[in-house]
């Protein structure tokens, strides 16, 4: 899409040299053929060093845009980014000319659906009612149980087991909101990647990234009915019990254990080798390892036990 057309679409002034914009991306990751945006004060620091071809921003940020990069000045940058995101969203399915590839030894149920451009490796099972989207890949020796949905462009590694009803790569929960209380969808251009040797239970929801990838790393284990929001990362060998949930963009180090019905807020990180009791709600980044936490807001498990004991005594 031409930069000039994008400017027209969002009502921004533009009189520079026109270029073809290939995609949307973050300030940090955008290449010089990509468009970026600033919608949150905490990312203004990334403007000056961005390689983006253009940046959608408010007037006060415009002067920080580096030379060679175009500032598209608008009143509501996040809303306008949402408007533009729709233009870069891929088709729901590719057209029939895109070949489906199924490796030797794999068994694909005639009642499964491999969309045009889907690829399945060797010795895998794709069972009835499973859906593998365009550009999506399932590796070798993996089992995709009935009615699993893998959205387009997502990747399932080798030796994975995905139980029935799980959804990998639906759009994350992202939208811009205006003063009238209306919401404009952020189309999600990224994907979700499940690395090798991962087992995921039934009815789990793993959203695709806005840009880049939501990642479940090698050897992780997820139980049933778990929420993994856009742009999360679950470290190698980490374990999530049933009904636990992660808000967006949180990064979990290797070999953490999250108990049932636990949760973690968005944009946090957790160092490796911690344990979180059932119902624990993580509200801050954790830089220590080897600890056990509980409660909401979370605290060390021992402290939580003390507080519970104290509470019991209060009413005696």
Q: Is 9 in the site for a second copy (CB under 8 A)?
A: no
Q: Is 217 in the site for a second copy (CB under 8 A)?
A: no
Among 51, 227, 285, 292, which residue interacts with a second copy (rule: CB under 8 A)? 227
Among 37, 88, 151, 258, which residue interacts with a second copy (rule: CB under 8 A)? 151
Name residue, tokens 């994907």.
191
- Give me the long-range contacts of 201-206 (CB less than 8 A, separation at least 24): 201/163, 201/166, 201/225, 201/226, 201/242, 202/145, 202/163, 202/164, 202/165, 202/166, 203/164, 203/165, 203/166, 204/163, 204/166, 204/167, 204/228, 205/166, 205/167, 205/170, 206/166, 206/167, 206/168, 206/169
In 3-state terms, what secondary structure has residue 42? helix
In the complex with a second copy, the residue whose CB is nearer, 31 or 178, is 178
| Region near a second copy per CB under 8 A, out of 18-26, 42-50, 96-104, 222-230 | 222-230
- The site that binds a second copy (CB under 8 A) totals a number of residues, namely 75
How far is 69 from 34, CA to CA, in rounded Å?
10
Q: Is 98 in the site for a second copy (CB under 8 A)?
A: no
In 3-state terms, what secondary structure has residue 41? helix
Residue 251 has which token pair? 């990064």
Q: What's CA 94's distance to the chain center, in Å? A: 22
**Minimum distance, C-beta of residue 167 to a second copy, in the bound complex (Å):** 4
Number of residues written out for the chain: 316
Among 26, 243, 275, 292, which residue interacts with a second copy (rule: CB under 8 A)? 243
| Region near a second copy per CB under 8 A, out of 2-10, 39-47, 59-67, 179-187 | 179-187
**Minimum distance, C-beta of residue 59 to a second copy, in the bound complex (Å):** 27
Residues 39-78 interacting with a second copy (rule: CB under 8 A)? none
Residue 230 bears catalytic tag: yes
Q: Is 306 in the site for a second copy (CB under 8 A)?
A: yes
**CA–CA–CA angle 86, 90, 96 (5° rounding):** 145
Q: Is 307 in the site for a second copy (CB under 8 A)?
A: yes
In the complex with a second copy, the residue whose CB is nearer, 19 or 100, is 100
Among 94, 195, 223, 233, which residue interacts with a second copy (rule: CB under 8 A)? 223
Nearest to 206 by CA among 164, 149, 157, 257: 149
**Minimum distance, C-beta of residue 54 to a second copy, in the bound complex (Å):** 28
- Are 233 and 252 spatial neighbours (Cβ–Cβ below 8 Å)? yes
Among 167, 210, 216, 251, which residue interacts with a second copy (rule: CB under 8 A)? 167
Residue tagged active-site, from 125, 163, 188, 230: 230
The set of catalytic residues is: 230
């Amino acid at each position: 899409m031409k930069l000039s057309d994008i400017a027209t679409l969002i009502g921004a002034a533009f009189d520079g040299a026109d270029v073809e914009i290939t995609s949307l991306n973050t300030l940090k990751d955008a290449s010089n053929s990509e468009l970026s945006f600033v919608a949150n004060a905490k990312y203004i620091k990334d403007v000056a060093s961005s390689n983006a071809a253009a940046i959608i921003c408010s007037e006060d940020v415009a002067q920080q845009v580096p030379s060679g990069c175009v500032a598209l000045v608008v009143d509501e940058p996040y809303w306008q980014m949402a408007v533009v995101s729709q233009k870069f969203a891929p088709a729901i399915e590719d057209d029939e000319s895109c070949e489906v590839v199924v490796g030797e030894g794999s068994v694909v149920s005639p009642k499964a659906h491999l969309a045009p451009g889907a690829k399945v490796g060797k010795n895998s099972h794709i069972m009835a009612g499973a859906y593998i989207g365009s550009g999506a890949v399932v590796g070798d020796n993996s089992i995709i149980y009935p009615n699993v949905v893998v959205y387009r462009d997502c990747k399932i590694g080798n030796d994975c087991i995905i139980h029935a009803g799980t959804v990998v790569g639906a759009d994350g929960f992202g939208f811009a909101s205006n003063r009238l209380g209306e919401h404009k969808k952020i189309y999600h251009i990224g994907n979700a990647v499940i690395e090798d040797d991962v087992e995921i239970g039934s009815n789990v929801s793993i959203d695709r990234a806005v840009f880049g990838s939501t990642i479940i790393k090698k050897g992780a284990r997820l139980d049933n009915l778990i929420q993994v929001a856009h742009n999360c990362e679950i470290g190698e060998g980490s374990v999530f019990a049933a009904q636990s949930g992660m808000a967006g963009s949180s990064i979990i180090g290797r070999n953490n254990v999250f108990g049932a019905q636990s949760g973690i807020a968005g944009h946090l990180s957790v160092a490796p080798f911690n344990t979180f009791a059932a119902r624990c709600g993580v509200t801050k980044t954790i830089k220590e390892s080897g600890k056990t936490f509980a409660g909401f807001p979370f605290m060390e498990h021992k402290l939580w036990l003390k507080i519970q004991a104290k509470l019991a005594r209060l009413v005696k």
